[in-house]
Structure 1
Amino acid sequence: MDTAPDQLTFRDAAESDVPALVRLIESAYRGAASRTGWTTEADILDGQRTDPEGVRAVIAADSSRMLLVERDGEPIACCQLEHRGPAAYFGMFAVRPGLQGGGLGRQIITEAERRVREEWGVGEMHMTVISVRDDLIAWYERRGYRRTGKMTPFPYGDERFGIPLRDDLQFELLVKPLQDPLPEGL
């Protein structure tokens, strides 16, 4: 467990964290509560974003971890990190909606990149983002991620990933080299 200068605690999530993690992830992306933040997917997807089994699978897998971020012992953010050979995958990124927009996400992604670089020795971070999420993709681009144009289809018909409200959803792969950190303030 590591504590950052602003009293954030970063730790690997445990089985006992699953209910709180599911609530956190759902609150950042789905339903009325998600509209408090800017990462909501409520206009493009209904239904669930994840479920206990999906979160549990990330925690249990040998090649992945769920990084839990707490302030004063309370979960406020999380992200999935998965070791995939020379790269790491970044997913299930959620920040409590009322805390979005204040730089917390930037701190978390920076810490996640540091950890995978140091612990796994990877040279790239990969993620997939729904391609119609222009504001979110722009946020990642400001942090050094680049669009690849590589698309994978959205799993229409599999409600474990949500109920689409439009028919043009697909995932785009974003990639960032991890050799050099970005300058402060970006």
Structure 2
Amino acid sequence: MDTATPQETGRIGYRDAVEDDVALLVPLVESAYRGDSSRTGWTTEADILEGQRTDAEGVRAVITTPGSRLMVVERDGEVVACCQLEHRGDAAYFGMFAVRPDLQGAGLGRLIIAEAERRVRETWGVREMHMTVISVREELVAWYERRGYRRTGEMTPFPYGDERFGIPQRDDLQFELLVKPLV
């Protein structure tokens, strides 16, 4: 999906989110995954999950929990993406990755994940990046595989019945752990 060069993506800046960013970040995450707006991009979960992807409390927790940060990505001064980075021993966890739907497929995601990997290596000295992806999202899993992540086959059940994570539209959802060595 990513075919653009970095020059085509505009001036990119990275910073850690602060609590004042919560009101901007919740709609960004929601727009990338749920509802009709998410269909503009290619990372939508709208066909498998309805309802919310996150809420202000969830975003605030990522920002304020020790060992966790939410990296905000700005292009020409405008917030266009974010991702969660969490220190977990010898690994870092990568999650809540959201790129504004109208900017998906232009190379921005590739730049962000590379920057996230660089930061966790330098900041925490971790050896691996971990993430979980809904296993039926084959196109998304393939995108991560092209970036060096490998499927582990290690599955975690989807939290059916907990609408904080969405309302499943199918009964076979589970999370698969993907791992990438960073050394």
TM-score, with normalisation over the residues of structure 2?
0.95
- Higher relative contact order, structure no. (Cα contacts within 8 Å, ≥ 6 residues apart): 2
Local SS of the residue matching 2:71: strand
Tell me which residue corresponds to 2:84.
80
CA RMSD, Structure 1 to Structure 2 (Å): 1.0
Mapping of 1:22-101 within 5 angstroms? Answer: 22-101=26-105
1:74, distance to aligned residue in structure 2 (A) = 1.3
SS in 2 for 1:122: coil
Alpha-carbon distance between aligned partners in 2 of 1:173 and 1:71, rounded to the nearest angstrom: 30
Q: 1:163: which partner in 2?
A: 167
Q: Identify which of 14, 18, 39 aligns with 1:14.
A: 18
Deviation above 4 Å: which 4+ runs of structure 1? none
Shift of 1:73: 2.1
Aligned residue for 2:57, secondary structure, equals helix
* Cα distance in 2 for residues equivalent to 1:121 and 1:70: 25
Q: Partner of 1:133 in structure 2?
A: 137
3-state DSSP of counterpart to 1:80: strand
Secondary structure of 1:92's match?
Answer: strand
Shift of 1:71: 1.4
2:11 & 2:150 partners in 1: Cα distance? 31
| Number of residue-to-residue matches in the alignment | 176
Question: Which residue does the alignment assign to 1:184?
Answer: none
Gaps of at least 5 residues in structure 1 are 180-186
Q: TM-score, normalised by structure 1?
A: 0.93
Name stretches of at least 5 consecutive residues in structure 2 with no aligned partner: 1-5
